[in-house]
Amino acid sequence: MSRRSSVTAAPKDKDFLRALSRSRNRGEADRARAILLTCEGWTAGRIAQAFGVREDTVRQWRCDFMTGGVEALKARKAPGPAPLKSEAALRVAAPLFETPPADRPNWTLSRLSVEIERQEGVSISKSQLSKALKKGALSTNGRATP
C-alpha cells in the first residue's frame, strides 16, 4: 500500500529544483525531477517506474533532499585515488604544446607516451593519454595520432 510522502519543498527550493532538473547530468536532473514529482503527490512506485529505477532509490533521493536540500541531489566526484598518470601526462604535454607547431616535432600519442615515461617515469597507454589530453583541454593545434 502506497502512502503520500511527507517531502515538501519551499518555493525557493522548487525554483532550484526546476533549474537542476535541466542539468546536463542526467542523474542530477532525474533526482530533481523526482523531488518535484513527489511534491505533486506522485508515489515512490510511480516515480520509480517513470525513471526506470527501484522504489528504494526514489526513497533515498527523498531522504537525501530532506537532510541535505538541493545540494544533496547534485552530482559529486566519486572518491578515489588522484589520477597520477593523467597529471603526469599533462605536466609533460603542456610545455611541449606551447611551442608553435612549425617549431616542434609532430607529437603522436605513441611518441608522447614515450616522452612522458622518459620525463616522469610513468607508463601511460595511448587510450588513457588521449582521454587525459581531452579532459585537460590541451590545444594541440591538430589531433594527435597513434
pLDDT single digits (tens) 53-83: 999 999 999 999 999 999 999 988 778 888 8
Provide the sign of the torsion angle of the four alpha carbons 66, 12, 25, 43, taken in this order: positive
Closest by CA position to 140, among listed 101, 112, 114: 101
User: In the structure grid, which three cell numbers stand for residue 126, read together?
Assistant: 595511448
Q: What distance in Å separates the CA atoms of residue 79 and residue 93, rounded to the nearest whole number? A: 26
State the average pLDDT over residues 47-52: 96
Spell out the domain ranges in the chain.
Answer: 11-73, 84-136
Chain length of the chain: 146
Q: What is the pLDDT of residues 18-39, one digit of tens each?
A: 999 999 999 999 999 999 999 9
Q: What is the pLDDT of residue 99?
A: 77
Q: Is the distance from CB of 27 to CB of 36 less than 8 angstroms? A: no
Q: What is the grid cell recorded at 75?
A: 552530482
More confident residue, 1 or 22: 22
Q: Dig out the grid coordinates for 129 from the structure.
A: 593519454
User: Which residues does 123 contact at the CB level (< 8 Å), separation at least 6?
Assistant: 85, 113, 117
101, three cell numbers = 607547431
User: For 27-34, which contacts have Cβ atoms below 8 Å and span 24 or more sequence positions?
Assistant: 27/75, 28/73, 28/74, 28/75, 31/61, 31/64, 31/65, 31/73, 32/70, 32/73, 34/58, 34/61, 34/62
